[in-house]
C-alpha cells in the first residue's frame, strides 16, 4: 500500500462512510469538508433493508439501532379523496423474513451522521479536516494532488470526490455541466410530538399523493419528532439548497387536498426549501486515481428514499474493491464503478417513475390507484431491498 493516504473530498454521509469503510480495510484516509462544522442538516432519512446490511458490514448496527425507529407500514393515500391506495407492511415479521432479517427504518439525518462521525473519530487511520474547501486536483500518475482554497496542495494516493450534487471533482473529471433541475421543490420541516394532533400521528411512513404534489410524514427519534416533506411542481426556481421557503406558495399548491394534509401543513412556520435535481446516469465516473461517490456520482430524486443508502453501499463496495486490488487504486476504481453503475442508474431512473406516479392527475391517477391497489407485493421491491453482495476476490 502507498505511504500516502487516500483523500476524500466532502464530509457528508457518503464521504464519512467512504472514509470509515476504507479505514476498516486498513487504509489511511484524510477527509476534507468545506463546512465550518462536520454536521448534517435536514430532517429524516429512510433506511431500506439493503443499507442495514451495509451497517452490519461496517459494524454499525447497534449504534444505528439506538437512534433509528421502525415504522409499521409504508402507506400511500390519495390526497384528493382520502382513500388508501396501498400499504406495505415493512414492520411485519414477513417483511423482515423476506429480506434476510434486515428491517426498514427511519432516522434523523443528524443522528445517522453522528453515528458515522463517531465511528470515523474512533479510527486512528482517519484524519478529519473541517473548513477546508477543495478547488481542483491533478492526477500525476503515481499520486494525486488536491488543490485547496488558500493555495495548499495535498498529496494523496488517490482522490474520492464525495462532494455532493454540485461536485467540483465531477466537473473536472466528467465536465458534464450542471445537474438537471427537475421542476420539483421540496419543503422539509420537523415538528415536536406535542405539535402533531393525535388523530394525525401514526407510526407509519405516509405519503399523500396529489396532482403535482405529495406530502410525506413519519415519526423520528423513536416518536419524539415528526418529519414532514412536502413536494410540488414549480418552474419558478433554478437552483439552490437549504433556503427558507414561502409558505404562501406551498399552501396554495395543496389547497384542493384533504383536510388532513392541510392541517399538517398549517402546523409549520419555518420550512426549508430544496430545489430537487438529478442527472442522467453515467457509465463512467472514475479516471486514473480519481473517482466519485454518492450524489457526486449518481444524484437521484428522493422518491425511492435511497440517495444516502446508495452512498453507503458505494462506500462498502469501493473499500472491498480497494482491498481486493491490493490498493491498486486505478483497478479498484474501475471495479467499483463496474459494480455500481447499473444499480445506481436503476435507482435514478426508477425514482423519476415513482415521482410521476406520486404526482399523477386525471386518468393516470385513477390508473395508478387501480394498479397499486392490489395485495402488497414485497417482490416488487426485491431488486432494491435485497441489497448487494460485495465483490469477492477471484483467487
Ligand X SMILES: Cc1cc2nc3c(=O)[nH]c(=O)nc-3n(C[C@H](O)[C@H](O)[C@H](O)COP(=O)(O)OP(=O)(O)OC[C@H]3O[C@@H](n4cnc5c(N)ncnc54)[C@H](O)[C@@H]3O)c2cc1C
Residue 18 is a binding residue for ligand X (CB under 6 A):
no
CB of 139 or CB of 328, closer to ligand X: 139
CB of 133 or CB of 331, closer to ligand X: 133
CB of 87 or CB of 147, closer to ligand X: 147
CA distance 323 to 30: 18
- For 343, the enclosing helix (H) or strand (E) is helix 329-358
- For 184, the enclosing helix (H) or strand (E) is strand 180-192
The verdict on whether 218 is a catalytic residue reads yes
By CB under 6 A, the residues from 32 to 51 that bind ligand X are: 32-35, 45-46
Q: Say if residues 69 and 52 touch (Cβ distance below 8 Å).
A: no
CB of 392 to ligand X, least distance (A): 26
Using the rule CB under 6 A, which residue among 6, 7, 8, 13 binds ligand X?
A: 13
- For 63, the enclosing helix (H) or strand (E) is helix 61-67
CB of 12 to ligand X, least distance (A): 2
Smallest CA-to-CA distance from 29 within 114, 120, 145, 164 is with 120
Size of the site for ligand X (CB under 6 A): 34
CB of 222 to ligand X, least distance (A): 17
Copy the grid coordinates of residue 72: 409499521
Smallest CA-to-CA distance from 333 within 145, 161, 178, 176 is with 161
CB of 81 to ligand X, least distance (A): 25
CB of 63 to ligand X, least distance (A): 17
CB of 7 to ligand X, least distance (A): 11
Smallest CA-to-CA distance from 51 within 89, 104, 90, 113 is with 104
**Residue 216 to residues 13, 44, 187, 258, 265: CA-CA distances in angstroms?**
22, 10, 10, 14, 11
By CB under 6 A, the residues from 208 to 267 that bind ligand X are: 229
- Quick one: DSSP state of residue 49? H
**Given the residues 104, 113, 218, 358, the one annotated as active site:** 218
Residue 313 is a binding residue for ligand X (CB under 6 A):
no
In three-state secondary structure terms, 233 is: strand
Using the rule CB under 6 A, which residue among 49, 164, 219, 387 binds ligand X?
A: 164
Q: For the chain, how long is the longest CA-to-CA vector? A: 63
Residues 6+ apart with CB under 8 A from 123: 19, 20, 23, 24
Residue 110 is a binding residue for ligand X (CB under 6 A):
no
Give the binding range for ligand X (CB under 6 A) out of 300-308, 321-329, 355-363, 386-394: 300-308
Residue 184 is a binding residue for ligand X (CB under 6 A):
no
CB of 29 or CB of 162, closer to ligand X: 162
Helices 307-324 and 49-57 cross at an angle (nearest 10°) of 40
Residue 207 is a binding residue for ligand X (CB under 6 A):
no
Using the rule CB under 6 A, which residue among 50, 68, 286, 302 binds ligand X?
A: 302
Residue 391 is a binding residue for ligand X (CB under 6 A):
no
Give the binding range for ligand X (CB under 6 A) out of 77-85, 156-164, 192-200, 333-341: 156-164
Give the binding range for ligand X (CB under 6 A) out of 4-12, 67-75, 330-338, 350-358: 4-12
CA distance 180 to 213: 19
Q: Say if residues 169 and 292 touch (Cβ distance below 8 Å).
A: yes
Q: Say if residues 368 and 358 touch (Cβ distance below 8 Å).
A: no
In three-state secondary structure terms, 15 is: helix
In three-state secondary structure terms, 146 is: strand
Residue 133 is a binding residue for ligand X (CB under 6 A):
yes
Using the rule CB under 6 A, which residue among 5, 10, 49, 156 binds ligand X?
A: 10
- Residue ranges binding ligand X (CB under 6 A): 9-15, 32-35, 45-46, 133-134, 162-165, 168, 186, 188, 229, 274, 294-296, 302, 305-309, 311
Q: Which residues are known to be catalytic?
A: 218
Amino acid at each position: 500500500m502507498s505511504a500516502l493516504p487516500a483523500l476524500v473530498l466532502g464530509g457528508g454521509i457518503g464521504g464519512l462512510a467512504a472514509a470509515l469503510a476504507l479505514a476498516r480495510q486498513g487504509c489511511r484516509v484524510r477527509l476534507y469538508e468545506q463546512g465550518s462544522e462536520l454536521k448534517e442538516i435536514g430532517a429524516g432519512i429512510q433506511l431500506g433493508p439493503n443499507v442495514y446490511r451495509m451497517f452490519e458490514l461496517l459494524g454499525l448496527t447497534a449504534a444505528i439501532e439506538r437512534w433509528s425507529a421502525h415504522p409499521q407500514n409504508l402507506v400511500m393515500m390519495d390526497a384528493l379523496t382520502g382513500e388508501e391506495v396501498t400499504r406495505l407492511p415493512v414492520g411485519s415479521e414477513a417483511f423482515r423474513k423476506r429480506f434476510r432479517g434486515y428491517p426498514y427504518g427511519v432516522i434523523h439525518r443528524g443522528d445517522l451522521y453522528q453515528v458515522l462521525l463517531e465511528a470515523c473519530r474512533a479510527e486512528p487511520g482517519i484524519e478529519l479536516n473541517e473548513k477546508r474547501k477543495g478547488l481542483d486536483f491533478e492526477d500525476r500518475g503515481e499520486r494525486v494532488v488536491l488543490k485547496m482554497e488558500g493555495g495548499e496542495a495535498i498529496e494523496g494516493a488517490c482522490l474520492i470526490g464525495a462532494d455532493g450534487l454540485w461536485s467540483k471533482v465531477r466537473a473536472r473529471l466528467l465536465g458534464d455541466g450542471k445537474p438537471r433541475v427537475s421542476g420539483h421543490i421540496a419543503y422539509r420541516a420537523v415538528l415536536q410530538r406535542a405539535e402533531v394532533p393525535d388523530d394525525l400521528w401514526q407510526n407509519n411512513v405516509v405519503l399523500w399523493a396529489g396532482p403535482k404534489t405529495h406530502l410525506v410524514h413519519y415519526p423520528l427519534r423513536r416518536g419524539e419528532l415528526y418529519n414532514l416533506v412536502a413536494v410540488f411542481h414549480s418552474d419558478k426556481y433554478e437552483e439552490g439548497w437549504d433556503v427558507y421557503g414561502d409558505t404562501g406558495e406551498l399552501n396554495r399548491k395543496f389547497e384542493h387536498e384533504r383536510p388532513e394534509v392541510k392541517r399538517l401543513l398549517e402546523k409549520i412556520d419555518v420550512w426549508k426549501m430544496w430545489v430537487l435535481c438529478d442527472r442522467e446516469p453515467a457509465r463512467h465516473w472514475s479516471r486514473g486515481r480519481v473517482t466519485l461517490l454518492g450524489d457526486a456520482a449518481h444524484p437521484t430524486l428522493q422518491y425511492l428514499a435511497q440517495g444516502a443508502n446508495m452512498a453507503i453501499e458505494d462506500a462498502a463496495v469501493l473499500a472491498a474493491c480497494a482491498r481486493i486490488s491490493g490498493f491498486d487504486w486505478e483497478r479498484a476504481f474501475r471495479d467499483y464503478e463496474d459494480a455500481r453503475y447499473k444499480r445506481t442508474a436503476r435507482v435514478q431512473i426508477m425514482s423519476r417513475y415513482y415521482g410521476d406516479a406520486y404526482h399523477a392527475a386525471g386518468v393516470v391517477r385513477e390508473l395508478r390507484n387501480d394498479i397499486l391497489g392490489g395485495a402488497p407485493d414485497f417482490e416488487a421491491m426485491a431488486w432494491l431491498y435485497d441489497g448487494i453482495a460485495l465483490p469477492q476476490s477471484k483467487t
